[in-house]
């Protein structure tokens, strides 16, 4: 079987003379720019997501950190540790004396606050809590014996 491809070849030859060449350069440049835009947008979106993730984690952590100036939470059945303002309302300090702003130290039903004096150094005021009277001034000093106060655990203001 013989095929006569002459007319087909002639037609393709004429088409190639009038059709010109295929220019792929413009299409390649367009596709390259499109890929570059997509890469830039993807990188920017990833950076924004990272910033929000880190910022959100930091904000969550900061909101859940305990307040260092807040008194420790009381044990069940124990009173909350009073603030310096609460204790300041219970006693009238002499002129020039003031509570040290570092806070109140508490153990069970006892609380101690350090007081600054102009002379003779610092001293502590000891307070005791009872259910019927609340917080009341007990005495002043520097340290107390935990056993004498009835404390079962050591306290920062006790000698034992």
pLDDT in tens, 59-72: 777 666 655 555 45
**E strand intervals along the chain:** 98-107, 110-116, 123-130, 134-141
Can you give the pTM of this predicted structure?
A: 0.51
Give the separation between CA 50 and CA 153, rounded to whole angstroms: 48
Listed in sequence order, the residues at least 6 apart from 127 whose beta carbon sits closer than 8 Å to its beta carbon are: 82, 87, 90, 110, 111, 112, 113, 135, 136, 137, 138
User: What's residue 92's pLDDT?
Assistant: 87
pLDDT at 149: 87
The CA distance from 126 to 56, in Å, is: 43
Closest C-alpha among 117, 126, 115 to residue 82: 126
Give the mean model confidence (pLDDT) for residues 135-150.
88
Q: Bridge-partner residues for 57, per DSSP?
A: none
Neighbours of 144 (CB within 10 A): 20
The domains of the chain are located at 8-63, 84-149
Q: What is the pLDDT of residues 73-120, one digit of tens each?
A: 555 557 888 888 888 888 888 888 888 888 788 888 899 999 888 877
Q: The tokens 């310096």 sit on which residue?
A: 84
């Amino acid at each position: 079987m013989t095929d006569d491809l002459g007319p087909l070849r002639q037609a393709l030859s004429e088409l190639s003379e009038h059709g010109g060449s295929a220019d792929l350069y413009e299409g390649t440049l367009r596709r390259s720019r499109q890929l570059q835009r997509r890469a830039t947008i993807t990188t920017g979106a990833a950076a924004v997501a990272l910033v929000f993730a880190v910022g959100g984690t930091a904000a969550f952590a900061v909101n859940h950190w305990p307040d260092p100036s807040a008194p420790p939470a009381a044990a069940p059945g124990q009173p909350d540790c009073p603030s310096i303002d609460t204790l300041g309302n219970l006693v009238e300090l002499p002129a020039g004396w003031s509570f040290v702003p570092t806070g109140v130290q508490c153990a069970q039903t006892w609380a101690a606050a350090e007081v600054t004096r102009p002379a003779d150094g610092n001293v502590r005021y000891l307070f005791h809590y009872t259910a019927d009277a609340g917080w009341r001034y007990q005495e002043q000093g520097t340290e107390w014996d935990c056993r004498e106060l009835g404390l079962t655990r050591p306290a920062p203001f006790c000698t034992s």
